[in-house]
Amino acid sequence: MTSPVVQVERQPSGVAVVTLDRPRVHNSFNTAMAAELLVVARELSNDEETGAVVVAGAGGKAFCAGADIAEFGALDTPDEFYAFISHLGRAVEAISELPQPVIAAVEGIAFGGGCELAMACDFRTASERTKFGLPEVKLGLLPGLGGTQRAIRLLPPSVALELLVTGEPLDAQTAHRLGFCLEPVEAGGALNDAIEYASRLCAGPRQAIAAAKQLVRDGRRFDMATALELEKKVGRSLFGSPDGIEGVAAFLQKRPAQFGSG
C-alpha cells in the first residue's frame, strides 16, 4: 500500500496544517497528490472545528516544485496532458473554494503548479529564501492550473506577463513589495508564521471571516449593484449570529469579545 503524500494535522487552536509530503522530489505535484488534496478539501470544507487552513511543503527546502515532469513527460497525447492538468486543477480549485481562510506557508521554491497552488490560497507567508515562479514557458508550455489568470489578479499585469514569458522567479522581498505575500521572515520560519497568522484568524469571529472570503471571491463575479446587495444580505445574517451579538455586546460593555469556535 502506498504512503499518503498529503498529511493533515489538526491543532487545538482550530488550525489544520495540510502538508505536501514528497520531499525527495521537492513535493512535486502528481496525480496521487491531487487525488488526496481533493479528499482533504472535501473533509475540511465540512469541518466546523477548523477555522483556518495552512498548506505547507515537507522537508523545508521547497513548498512545491511544480507539476511532476516525470509523470506528464511520459504522456503521449495532448488529450492525455489535458486530463492530467484538469485533474491537478480540480485539486487547486478545491483548496481555493474552502470556506475557511487558507494560508500557503512557502519555504524555498514555489514553482509552476506549486506557485499556482500558493496563488489559490488566500494569503502567502514566505521566508527570505522563498522564490515564486511560473517557469513553464521554458518547457514550451504555459501554466494550466489557473496560473495565467490568478497571476494577473494578484500582480500588476506587466509583472504577471513577465513571469509568464520569461519564466524568471520573484524573490520574497519583491513579492512582498508587490503585495503578493506577507512580509518575509527568517529562513525556516514560513510555516510558524503561517500557523501564527492562522491561529489569530481562528480566535476571531469565524462566520464573519468566512463571509468576508465569500464576498471577496464572489463579488468579482457580479456587477456592482448585485455585489452590493449581496454584501447587505450577508451583513443581515451576521447581525443576528452569535458572534455578531457577542461582538456588539462586548463593544458596548467595553470588554474583549469572546467569539465562538464555529
- Between CA 164 and CA 258 the distance in angstroms is 46
Task: Give the strand order in the sheet containing 170-171.
Answer: 62-64, 109-111, 131-133, 170-171
Of 80, 97, 128, 136, the active-site residue reads: 136
Beta carbons within 8 Å of 240's beta carbon, 6+ residues apart = none
Q: Can you state the angle between helices 224-239 and 242-252, rounded to 10 degrees? A: 70
Please provide the size of the chain in residues: 262
Please indicate whether residue 196 is annotated as part of the active site.
Answer: no
The rounded distance, in Å, linking the Cα atoms of 30 and 218 is 29
Instruction: State the greatest distance between any 2 C-alpha atoms of the chain, in Å, as a whole number.
Output: 68
Residue 186 among the catalytic residues:
no
Q: Are 90 and 200 in contact (CB under 8 A)?
A: no
The catalytic residue among 48, 71, 93, 116 is: 116
Query: Between the CA atoms of 20, 26, 28 and 32, what dihedral angle is there, to the nearest 10 degrees?
Result: -50
Cite the active site residues.
116, 136
